[in-house]
Amino acid sequence: MLKTKRVLNFEQIKEELKNFREDHLKAGIGMILRRGEAYYDPIINSIRFRKLLNIPLPKRLYERTDLEKKVLGLINSTKTNLTLTCNKKSEILVESFSETQMRIRVRNKRAERLRRYGYRVEQEYRMRTKRKKTSITFDQDGQIIKLKCGCREFNEGPRNISAPCSDILALYIISINFMNLPFEIGKKYNYAQLEAMAAGD
């Protein structure tokens, strides 16, 4: 439709596509904007269509990356274990904890000796719970000033915002929506409380 009309505001789009729900229309417009096939003109409060190429872009450019898929998979568990506190400097600390089960090899000297003599002895393992903490600290302007994560992906990199791991990205996506809420100094909030505050309850 934008290819023929070229410029439309949201009300005109609604009028043209009466059979579609408003939230679906907004999602569709958002997709076109993300693809760069249109842009928002604030002067006339309208969407302008623009043709970038004479050929369609490859589908792989629209596909989610492995990192994006991983972040999406972490969103729900991050919400469950999220806490937020505000200190006297108005810095906001957002944390999330997760636990994973690890299989640890058990050393058995007798079994190792038997294996050296050619006996077939199965390796023993035990399970160990590993707790991982991810945290982001924001200053009073909502800018990130500190990052921490216990995962290997983050600690093997530069350990800053230039190379965030999936845990930090998931925590950021959730917490950024609550930065403008009024917090009590020293009080710890969970996700349900933050959501209620954002909804005005």
Look at residue 125 and tell me if it is in a domain.
no
Shared domain for 84 and 180, answered yes or no, is: yes
Does the pLDDT value for residue 42 go beyond 90? no
Assess whether 72 and 39 both reside in one domain. no
154 and 90, same structural domain? yes
DSSP string, the chain: -HHHH-EE-HHHHHHHTTTS-HHHHHHHHHHHHHTTSEEEETTTTEEEE----SSPPPGGGTSPPHHHHHHHHHHHHHHHTEEEEE-TT--EEEEEEEEEEEEEEPP-HHHHHHHHTT---PPPEEEEEEEEEEEEEE-TTS-EEEEEE-SHHHHTTT-STTS--HHHHHHHHHHGGGTTS---BT-EEEHHHHHHHHTT-
pLDDT at 14: 81
pLDDT tens digits, 133-177: 999 999 988 889 999 998 888 888 887 777 889 999 999 999 988
Could you report the per-residue pLDDT of 47-105, keeping only the tens digit for each?
Answer: 887 765 566 667 776 677 888 888 888 888 889 889 999 999 999 999 998 766 667 77
Residue 4 predicted with pLDDT over 70 = no
Can you tell me the mean pLDDT for 38-53? 76
Mark whether 6 and 86 lie in a shared domain: no
Examine the domain organization and report whether 157 and 188 are in the same domain. Answer: yes
Number of folded domains in the chain?
A: 2
Mean pLDDT of 39-48: 81
**Within-domain flag for 154:** yes
Residue 3 has a pLDDT of 55
pLDDT of residue 100: 63
Q: What is the pLDDT of residue 102?
A: 63
Q: Is the pLDDT of residue 110 over 90?
A: no
Which comes out higher in pLDDT, residue 137 or 36?
Answer: 137
Are 92 and 144 contained in the same domain? yes
What pLDDT sits at residue 183? 93
35: domain CATH number?
1.10.10
pLDDT band at 25 (very low <50, low <70, confident <90, very high): confident
Domain identity same for 25 and 75 = no
Same domain, 57 and 71: no
* pTM beyond 0.85: no
Shared domain check, 43 and 19: yes
Does 27 lie in the same domain as 73?
Answer: no
Instruction: Look at residue 33 and tell me whether its pLDDT is greater than 90.
Output: no
The answer to whether position 123 is within a domain reads: no
- Domain span holding position 16: 2-61
Residue 124 domain-assigned (yes or no): no
| Span 113-136, pLDDT tens digits | 767 777 776 777 777 667 789 999
Point out the domain boundary residue: 45, 61, 77.
Answer: 61
9 & 47 share domain: yes
